[in-house]
A = this chain, B = another copy of it.
Amino acid sequence: MTPRLYIDAVLDAGSAIALGPEHTHYLRDVLRLGVGAPVHLFNGRDGEWRATITAASKRSLALQVEDRTRAPADEPDLWLCFAPVKKARLDFIAEKATELGVGRLQPVITQRTIVERVNLDRLRANAVEAAEQTERLTVPDVAPPLALAQLLATWPHERHLLVADETGGGRPVAAMLAALDAPARAAPWAVLTGPEGGFAPAELDMIGRLPMAHAVGLGPRILRADTAALAALAVWQAIVGDWQAVPRGRRSHETACMDT
């Protein structure tokens, strides 16, 4: 297994990288790797690169970047705007949304949101870990929480918004997505999901006034907030996003060794 790390450094053939304490601990103490071991690196901009551990001191591992294993590639421009929920389910949303290709995690405070304090560092750590494991070349941005009214007031006019409307007011999700015209399919998108208690009626009215909002239903069962977010993202990727292309083959060895 070749470990895969996200680092905030320029990646280019021949660059030298000094790893920070967490990555050093992970490679040296957890994976027991030493000088000569290969590592894959990505920084969200320069694709993915192969590097080799060239020196190990007590505090840091030094790497030399060798060659590029994957070119930078566009990813769908998809945000997840979500009312924060309790801790384990919030970790879960960050992990799953990253696996499902989200470019921005945007917490939104709504009228019925119970959890108002969001640990952005923890959200970001979950996103980084999921990006490392999922072979993404980027890590989602983690934005500071916004009140719903503020989110809507500053909404980029070209970005379409799929709204998970649990009141039954929306169209079935697949029918709405399948009927989109080409400009709408090519536009930037976001998914918006509410708290466990759902959006308040006045909030749904306010959301519905956005010209690019599409209220949808996710079936006859009540979904928890985290399930609704994940399900909406998966259906969007399948019908509008990059799941429409024939998937590339896997690095079977890495897949087989992906830890849980």
* Interface residues, chain A, with chain B CB atoms under 8 Å away: 85-86, 89, 92, 95-96, 99-101, 112, 133-136, 166-168, 170-175, 178, 196-198, 217-225, 227, 230-231, 234-235, 237-239, 241-250, 252, 255-260
Q: Are B230 and A234 in contact (CB under 8 A)?
A: yes
Q: Are B134 and A222 in contact (CB under 8 A)?
A: yes
Task: State in angstroms the CA–CA spacing of A243 and B232 once bound together.
Answer: 12
Query: Closest approach, in angstroms, between the C-beta of A185 and any C-beta of chain B?
Result: 12
Q: 10 tightest CB-CB pairs across the interface, nearest first? A: A217-B247, A219-B243, A231-B234, A174-B238, A197-B256, A168-B249, A168-B247, A235-B238, A234-B234, A134-B221
Q: Are B255 and A198 in contact (CB under 8 A)?
A: yes
Point out the residues of chain B lying under 8 angstroms from A227, CB to CB.
96, 99-100, 230
Q: Are B221 and A174 in contact (CB under 8 A)?
A: no
Point out the residues of chain B lying under 8 angstroms from A173, CB to CB.
238, 243
Q: How many copies does the complex hold?
A: 2
Point out the residues of chain B lying under 8 angstroms from A220, CB to CB.
242-243, 245, 247-248
Point out the residues of chain B lying under 8 angstroms from A241, CB to CB.
219
Task: State in angstroms the CA–CA spacing of A197 and B172 once bound together.
Answer: 34
Using known A-B contacts A171-B246, A174-B244, determine if residue A234 contacts B235 with beta carbons closer than 8 Å. yes
Q: Are B196 and A260 in contact (CB under 8 A)?
A: yes
Interface centre among A85, A174, A248, by most chain B C-beta atoms within 10 angstroms, is A174
Query: Closest approach, in angstroms, between the C-beta of A251 and any C-beta of chain B?
Result: 9
Task: State in angstroms the CA–CA spacing of A239 and B178 once bound together.
Answer: 10
Q: Are A133 and B222 in contact (CB under 8 A)?
A: yes
- CB-nearest residue of chain B relative to A225? B260
Task: State in angstroms the CA–CA spacing of A257 and B198 once bound together.
Answer: 10
Q: Are B247 and A219 in contact (CB under 8 A)?
A: yes
Point out the residues of chain B lying under 8 angstroms from A99, CB to CB.
221-224, 227
Using known A-B contacts A170-B247, A174-B239, A243-B173, determine if residue A252 contacts B198 with beta carbons closer than 8 Å. yes
- CB-nearest residue of chain B relative to A165? B247
Q: Are A219 and B196 in contact (CB under 8 A)?
A: no
- CB-nearest residue of chain B relative to A259? B196
